[in-house]
């Protein structure tokens, strides 16, 4: 789903690809880009969904904002996800090596790919993580 052209550095793409995308469902699960996840399959089965995205509104275009600005944008993102009638779980994207501070995120199940991509662009994110019935999270570059 990624296009070949991007303004993102290979280092940033590698950092996103190695991130732990934690979903705070009944049982916490950690999604990894490119790795099949059995717990994701269970969530899809329980919710009768086949798509989801992991998304944040924090630090658009990797520009660090104040806590207040990030929280405000995150609340707007939440409201947008609610309006799309998604099942929303809190999440957290974290660096497994601890080199950068993690970011609160959402895991939105039952969202359409186009809507996920549009929200990522609306909140000026470099990428989102897309999940479909294959249950292999995929990094989708937006810039």
DSSP 94-129: E-TT-SS--EEEEEEET--HHHHHHHHHHTT-SEEE
| CA–CA distances in Å: residue 39 to residues 44, 115, 116 | 9, 23, 21
Q: Taking the CA atoms of the chain, what radius of gyration do you get in angstroms?
A: 14
Tokens of 89: 């779980």
- Could you tell me where the beta strands, DSSP code E, fall in the chain? 20-24, 28-31, 52-55, 87-94, 103-109, 127-131, 138-141
pLDDT tens digit sequence for 63-98: 999 999 999 999 999 999 999 999 999 999 998 888
Mean pLDDT of 47-54: 97
Confidence of residue 99 (pLDDT cuts 50, 70, 90): confident
Q: Is the pTM of this model over 0.85?
A: yes
Please state, for a pLDDT cut of 70, what percent of the chain lies above it.
Answer: 97
State how far the Cα of 136 lies from the Cα of 121, in Å rounded to an integer.
22
Other Cβ atoms less than 10 A from the Cβ of 141: the count is 20
Residue 64, SS3? coil
């Amino acid at each position: 789903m990624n296009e070949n052209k991007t303004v993102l550095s290979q280092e940033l793409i590698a950092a996103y690809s190695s991130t732990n995308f934690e979903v705070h469902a009944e049982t916490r699960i950690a999604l990894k880009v490119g790795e099949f996840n059995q717990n994701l399959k269970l969530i899809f089965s329980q919710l009768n969904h086949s798509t989801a995205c992991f998304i944040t509104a924090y630090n658009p275009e990797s520009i660090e904002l104040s806590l207040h600005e990030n929280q405000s944008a995150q609340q707007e993102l939440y409201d947008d996800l609610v309006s799309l009638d998604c099942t929303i779980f809190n999440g957290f994207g974290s660096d497994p090596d601890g080199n950068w501070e993690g970011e609160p995120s959402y895991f939105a199940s039952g969202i359409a790919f186009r809507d996920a991509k549009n929200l990522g662009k609306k909140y000026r994110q470099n990428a989102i993580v897309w999940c479909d019935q294959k249950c292999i999270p995929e990094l989708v570059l937006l810039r």
